[in-house]
Amino acid sequence: MALELRNVTKRVGADLHIKETSLVLETGHFNVLLGATGAGKTSLIKMMAGLDPVASGQILMDGQDVTGQSTQKRNISLVHQFFINYPHMTVFDNIASPLKVAGLPKSEIQGRVEHAADILKLRPMLHRRPHELSGGQQQRTALARAIAKESRAVFLDEPLANLDYKLREELRDQLPELFAGRGAVVVYATSEPEEALLLGGHTALMEDGRVTQFGRTAEIYRDPANVLAARVFSDPPINTAKIVKQGDTARMGTDVTWTLTGAAAGLADGPYMIAIRPHHVSPVASPEATVTLSGRVQVTELSGSESSAHFDTGSGSWVSLAPGVHPYRVGEMHDFHMDPSAAYVFAPDGSRVA
Amino acid sequence: MKTENQKAWFFVLPVLLLVAFNALIPMMTVVNYSVQETFGDNLFFWQGLGWFEQILRSDRFHAALGRQFLFTFLILIIEVPLGIAIALSMPRKGFWVPVCLVLMALPMLIPWNVVGAMWNIFTLPDIGLLGYFLNHVIGINYDMTQDPLAAWITIVTMDVWHWTSLVVLLSYAGLVSIPDAYYQAAKIDGASNWAVFRFIQLPKMKTVLTIAILLRFMDSFNIYTEPFVMTGGGPGNSTTLLSIDLVKIALGQFDLGPAAAMSLIYFAITLLVSWLFYTLMTKDDLN
């Protein structure tokens, strides 16, 4: 099973909400759509589900054109951010609803519903109504419906966004396992880069109605194709700065310079942009971190085992993320150390050059 | 800790007074009449349950009650499905929503006696738009002052015209309260339009539909003004519904005792049917 988009666009009035997009989503691993709110993840899912019309282009399932086919005929499942269960039906009937509609025999419905309920630990709740369940149980009911249906494609549209932290971690760990070996194409939309990394598989980075990069999640993270991809796939936000290359020297602002190595050294002289992840900017000096940035600390955050600091060098704002607890004082100058070999280098138009 | 005092009575008191004057006192007067015989001059003789027995055994009452149930059954069986169908086909958003709503509300805004007079004139064979058309253009003999069937068709059609809107508006209110997400979920489940209606729309409309049917039952069971203006209960007794018969006995024949007994029986039937229906419809929700 494969789900393919060929030059698909979506129009709302005169606006092009989804710009020409082509993707091949395959079974066997998660396909993550990663992008900020409004990037077009839900729009793309709704088109694949047949809930919203496609302005141009084709959608294919298993090589068969389904562009004009109604949602009812596509045999898909969709789990929303908001727990959508039928309020007047029991959990059992909710999970069974697509199977009943499909006209399966009673015994098979019973078996499939109980199997899905066992996987999602809903067995004791089968006779309750959705309003008698917690948020996590409601979302598990929605997931159980998707599993029981054994559809060709499963769309999970930020399914964990409205759950509390603990439950989110627990369900996120279970998700890949739940859908493994079911032969369905799983599409998972999220706005959290961390989630994409944890779920693995392939990731399509989305920005402003277009897919900026698509490939194996780990590769995209390590190797962003352009500055947008680097930005989307970083939390806290990636640091960017303008540099000027002259010979093998990079100059940032007026007084920070370093010697370029590797691919960056071979570039033509001129202006470039670098992007460097916050964890490569550290308050602790090390042999690799050859560039020192002095800045006034503006905001600090301590999250258990990591400390982050936002600081201003006078020419730009930076974020540092380092393991351990560091005694920052807000408003005072601190030295931060950057490893320039970890920086991505982009041409002024945003495309990656080194 | 909760402090208990008797203050609440002061809040209930005004309502109690109002209900006493517009319901309890008139009703007790009726009860009073129903067990006594009077020849005027405020002279009363104890009658016991005699009037009730007389009414319950009277063929005239049985016939009127039968006609009443038939009328109510006919208008419910037409208005409820028709109202739901119209509500389903009304737009959910956009420019036409207020237009449809106002058009729907119009019949209900017309005073009942005017509705009766309108339909009376509308169906007159010689000058009425519909009556003339049926008799002189199509050639069907249609005269509700002569033909009981025509009279029945006319009062039922009139009621459908007048009150289907109530079912429409209440059903529509139930329909628009269904979030789009449920329709999407149903599409994804692969549900047909019928399944969407049966498993999503109908359950969501159940509460408002219960109210709509209850209101239409009570209203049609007590209908008086429109048939009184249109047919006056005729031709013969063919459209003499319970309320029309009651007024004939009470004010026409001035048989206050039997009329009082009849109105109490009438009231009890309305109450019993409403209670039964409501209890049955809400039984599931209580569990």
Asked whether the predicted pLDDT for residue B1 surpasses 70, the reply is: no
Query: Nearest-CA distance from A86 to chain B in Å?
Result: 7
- pTM assigned to the model: 0.74
Positions in chain A short of pLDDT 70: none
CATH topology of domain B58-286: MetI-like fold (1.10.3720)
> Residue B2: what pLDDT?
63
Residue with the bigger pLDDT between A294 and B77: it is B77
Is the pLDDT confidence value at B71 over 90?
yes
Tokens 């019928």 belong to residue: B194
Assigned token pair, B117: 């007079």
| Angle, vertex CA A212, rays to CA A206 and CA A213, nearest 5 | 105
Boundaries of every domain in chain B: 58-286
**Cβ within 8 Å, pair B181-A84:** yes
CB contact under 8 A, A78 and B188: yes
Q: How confident is the model at residue B285 (pLDDT cuts 50, 70, 90)?
A: low
Q: Distance, in angstroms, between A84 CA and closest chain B CA?
A: 7
Identical fold for domains A2-232 and A240-346, yes or no, is no
- Tokens in use for B161? 């015209």
Residue A42 forms contact with B (CB below 8 Å):
no
Is the pLDDT at B196 greater than 50? The verdict is: yes
CB B81 within 8 A of CB B212: no
For residue A50, list chain B residues with Cβ-Cβ distance below 8 A: 187
pLDDT of residue A14: 82
Best of A52, A71, A113 to mutate (most B CBs within 10 Å, chain B):
A71
- Residue B112 predicted with pLDDT over 50: yes
Pull the structure tokens for residue A247: 């010979």
Residue B88: its pLDDT value, please? 92
Per-residue pLDDT band at B275 (split at 50, 70, 90): very high
Question: Does B187 contact A at CB distance below 8 Å?
Answer: yes
In A, which residues are within 8 Å of B193 by CB distance? none
Residue B169, CA distances (Å) to B75, B166, B172 in order: 17, 5, 5
Distance from CA of A7 to the nearest CA of B (A): 24
A56 strand-pairing partners = A9
* Structural domain boundaries in chain A: 2-232, 240-346
Strand spans (E) along B105-253: none
pLDDT per residue over B233-254, tens digit each? 778 888 888 888 888 888 888 7
Is B242:B223 a contact under the CB 8 Å cutoff?
Answer: no
Mutate to test the interface with B, among A74, A75, A83, A88 (most CBs of B within 10 A): A88
Exposure string over A135-161, b if 16+ CB within 10 A, otherwise e: ebbbbbbbbbbbbbbbbbbbbbbbbbb
Q: Look at residue B135 and tell me whether its pLDDT is greater than 70.
A: yes
Q: Which of residues 203-232 of B touch A (CB under 8 A)?
A: 203-204
Looking at the structure, give the CATH architecture of the domain made up of residues A2-232. Answer: 3-Layer(aba) Sandwich (3.40)
* Cβ–Cβ gap A73/B181 under 8 Å: no
Residue B168 pLDDT more than 90? Answer: yes
Asked if the model's pLDDT at residue B97 lies above 70, the reply is: yes
Decide if B156 contacts B75 (C-beta within 8 A).
yes
Under the banding of pLDDT at 50, 70 and 90, the label for residue B287 is very low
Instruction: Decide the pairing of beta strands A249-252 and A317-323.
Output: unpaired
Tokens representing residue A149 in the block = 């249906």
Using a CB cutoff of 8 Å and minimum separation of 24, what contacts does B119-127 make? Answer: B119/B154, B119/B157, B119/B158, B119/B161, B119/B226, B119/B230, B120/B229, B120/B230, B123/B150, B123/B154
In chain A, residues with a C-beta closer than 8 Å to the C-beta of B203 are 88
Q: Do B181 and A97 touch (CB under 8 A)?
A: no
d(CA A79, CA A161): 12
Check A51 against B195: CB less than 8 A apart. Answer: no
Question: Nearest residue on chain B to A46, judged by CA atoms?
Answer: B184
Tell whether A84 is within 8 A of chain B (Cβ): yes
| pLDDT, tens digit (0-9, with 9 covering 90-100), for A140-191 | 899 889 888 888 889 999 988 888 888 888 888 888 888 887 888 999 999 8
CATH 2.40.50.140 fits A240-346, yes or no: yes
Q: What DSSP letter does each residue of A240-291 carry, written as one string?
A: EEEEEEETTEEEETTTEEEE--HHHHTSPSEEEEEEE-GGGEESS--SS--E
The answer to whether A80 contacts B204, with C-beta atoms less than 8 Å apart, is: no
User: Residue A236 has which token pair?
Assistant: 């806290």
Identify the bridge partners of residue A186 per DSSP, sorted by sequence position.
Answer: A30, A154
Chain A hits for B184, CB-CB cut-off 8 Å, are: 51, 71, 78, 84
CB contact (8 A) between residue B187 and residue A72: yes
ipTM exceeds 0.90, yes or no: no
- State the nearest Cα–Cα gap between A101 and chain B, in angstroms: 6
Per the DSSP assignment, residues forming a β-bridge with A187 are A31, A155
Cβ atoms < 10 Å from Cβ of A333: 12
Put simply, whether B53 touches A (Cβ < 8 Å) is: no
Distance between A83 CA and the closest CA of chain B, angstroms: 10
Contact A101 B195 (CB under 8 A): yes
CA distance A145 to A129: 14
A residues 118-157 near B, CB within 8 Å? Answer: 145, 149
Minimal CA separation from B88 to chain A, in Å: 19
CA geometry: angle B71, B257, B232, nearest 5 deg: 35
User: Which position has the higher pLDDT, B40 or A42?
Assistant: A42
